[in-house]
Homo-oligomer: A and B are copies of this chain.
Amino acid sequence: MTVLVERLAVIGVGLIGGSFALALKETGAVDFVIGCGRTEDNLRDALAMGIIDDATTDPVEAAEGADVIMLSVPMRAMAPLAKQIAHVLKHGAIITDAGSAKEVVLGELFAWLPSHAHVVAGHPIAGSEKTGAAAAAPDLFKGRRTILISDERTDHEALELVKKLWEAVGCKVEIMEAGRHDLVLGAVSHLPHMVAYALVDALLNWDNDLPMLRFSAGGLRDFTRIAASSPEMWRDICLDNQHVIVEAIDRFIEVLQSLRSEIDKGDGEELSERFSRCRKVRKRIEREDKA
């Protein structure tokens, strides 16, 4: 395809940033990628895998002259980065990100970045518990959704370009406001992770008194996979989407308490009805995926 971006800087060449660069290079939408990271080993991996064409540990060097800058670092690292690179951004540079919560970060990016650069915040609904450039894969985003944020501050040409990039790597793009994103993702992604962490932690405590973890079957294994996600990333999501996550946990506990009460009363009919209703959700999501 035609080149959409001459020079892309990826700051944080991990699973998400690495896969984004790799997929874009494969489609030909991007001409040159400079990768910036904290550890040289990871950058060496990224160079060897052809994810990036050049590497640096200095964000300023990466950002200078770049047309598009992808910030794919833990969210609490984004504001300091923005502050650091602000003075070298070229006119019309687009700064985008892949963070899992948008309202707080977006405010920080707009606060630190100069008005001659454009901020287009984004969030690909993809990933895994793996981390690092070595886990990058060009098909990570194929068939997945990416949410891009639009509000009164958004430059529409910049938004259109970032949309084309995500479409080039195989995503369906949906555009919404930051608050709505944070509410939806707080529910369907952040809450499940909190529940998985709490479950694994509760069993870890209990296992001290009564060894049980070795009897874990399929169900628990899925939870331990989710709870093996990056602690740094999930700490930042908790800090940046605090209020929504707290509300989501409260809603969840209310439902769990009502299930607990049905079990306590031995109410087989209510239990059957609830379990049957839940069973249908999987099929519904599969249908919506195809839509």
Interface-side segment among A52-60, A61-69, A113-121, A122-130: A122-130
Judged by a CB distance under 8 angstroms, whether A271 is at the interface is yes
Distance in Å: Cβ of A124 to nearest Cβ of chain B: 9
* Contact residues of A between 13 and 63, Cβ < 8 Å to B: none
Question: A196 vs B218: C-alpha distance in the bound complex, in angstroms?
Answer: 12
Contact A202 B239, beta carbon cutoff 8 Å: no
Please classify the interface of chain A as helix (H, G, I), strand (E, B), loop, or mixed, using the class held by over half of its residues.
helix
For residue A111, CB closer than 8 A to chain B, the reply is no
Out of B187, B193, B235, B249, name the residue touching A260 (CB < 8 Å): B249
Query: Which chain B residues lie closer than 8 Å to A268 at the CB level?
Result: 76, 235, 238-239
Using A225-B222, A256-B195, A281-B213 as known contacts, say yes or no to A275 and B234 having CB atoms under 8 A apart. yes
Cβ of A15 to closest chain B Cβ, rounded Å: 12
The CA-CA distance from A254 to B129 in the complex, in Å, is: 26
Among B198, B220, B284, which residue has its beta carbon within 8 angstroms of that of A213? B284
A 197-236 to B, binary, CB cutoff 8 A, 1 in contact else 0: 1111111111000101111111111111111110110110
Q: Mark A250-291, 1 if CB is under 8 A from B, else 0.
A: 111111110110111010100110111111011111001101
- 4 tightest Cβ-Cβ pairs between the two chains A and B: A231-B275, A222-B222, A198-B256, A224-B282
A positions within 8 Å CB-CB of B:
76, 125-129, 144-145, 147, 180, 183-185, 187-189, 191-206, 210, 212-229, 231-232, 234-235, 238-239, 242, 245-246, 249-257, 259-260, 262-264, 266, 268, 271-272, 274-279, 281-285, 288-289, 291
